[in-house]
Amino acid sequence: MLGTDMAEALKSRHEVIGVDIDTLDITNLEAIFIYMEQTKPQLIINCAGYTDVDGCETNADLAYQVNALGPKNLALGCEKHNAALVHFSTDYVFDGTKETPYLEDEQPNPLNIYGKSKAAGEEYIKNVLNKFYIIRTSWMFGRHGKNFVNTMLRLAKEQDVINVVNDQTGSPTYAKDLAALISDMVQSEKYGIYHATNEGYCSWAEFASEIMKRSGNNLAINPIPSELYITKAIRPKNSKLSKNNLDRAGFNRLPHWKDALGRYLG
């Protein structure tokens, strides 16, 4: 989802090489060294990840291979070839127990394997590399992959009413908007950890209701607490992310999530 939009956003400014797993497996350090020696990139943008949150609970080894070891390998490759690294992380590195938005420098305390593997990936990058952008984002939707918006639109054709959790709060993020921000950010060399989501907060139930409203569907959304929607992985209740570092560095915040949703459904 994000990789396609990232390549599109960068192609007017850079020579972009799109790499998928069949070309390069980021869990293979030797393969990374060889590929970087061949291509000599100045910048690597890591959009790879094992993002099936519940799947990570039963495939923990794979989660750590892709979400922790993979970023470490890329950081080692960047360090060897003096390249910069953009790495995408997640709101799930936090436990969601506080009321206010999480600051960039707060200590991660993930609740599930997905969050733990992503937090480990962040630590590996910080320990190996100086030239990095770690971008924590949340609730992503876009044109090039499975996402909550498309799932709701599909269910609207199949059902009359659906239960959606109403006590997890975060910011839906449009991959195209995020890609545009990162395209600007990498020109700056203002390295560090950033939170980047579309503006505004909502619950999953509120997000679903807005999708139905804007798409003209009649699917009724029944808000329920997390305790009534059992999943393998525990989700944080509060996924609000502070934009302090984004503001300090002078980068523009993304548009409101409702604006982004309108453009996506357009």
Percent of the chain topping pLDDT 70: 100
Q: How many CA atoms are closer than 13 Å to the CA of 36, on its beta-carbon side?
A: 26
| Domains, the chain, ordered by start | 2-147+172-199+240-255 (3.40.50.720)
**What pLDDT is attached to residue 119?**
98
CA Rg, the chain, in Å?
Answer: 18
**What pLDDT is attached to residue 223?**
97
Q: Which residue in 105, 77, 103, 71 sits closest to 89, CA to CA?
A: 71
What pLDDT digit, counting tens, does each position of 2-21 carry? Answer: 999 999 999 998 999 999 99
Q: Is the pLDDT of residue 198 over 90?
A: yes
d(CA 219, CA 194): 36
Coarse DSSP helix, strand, coil percentages of the chain, rounded to the nearest 5 percent: 45, 20, 40
133 noted as active-site residue: no
What pLDDT digit, counting tens, does each position of 72-118 carry? Answer: 999 999 999 999 999 999 999 999 999 999 999 999 999 999 999 99
**What pLDDT is attached to residue 120?**
98
CA 211 from chain center: how many Å? 20
Sequence-ordered list of residues with C-beta below 8 angstroms from that of 107, at least 6 positions apart, any chain: none
Torsions phi, psi of 105, nearest 5?
A: -100, 10
**What pLDDT is attached to residue 145?**
86
Q: Which residue in 51, 35, 34, 182 sits closest to 113, CA to CA?
A: 51
Structure tokens at 123: 């630590």
Q: What is the DSSP letter of 85?
A: E
Q: Tokens 């999708």 belong to which residue?
A: 211
pTM attached to this predicted model: 0.95
Structure tokens at 170: 């975060």
What pLDDT digit, counting tens, does each position of 245-259 carry? Answer: 999 999 999 999 999
The single-letter code of the amino acid at 187 is: Q
Structure tokens at 162: 């659906």
> Which of 35, 50, 92, 114 is the catalytic position?
114
What pLDDT digit, counting tens, does each position of 113-171 carry? Answer: 999 999 999 999 999 999 999 999 999 999 998 899 999 999 999 999 999 999 999 99
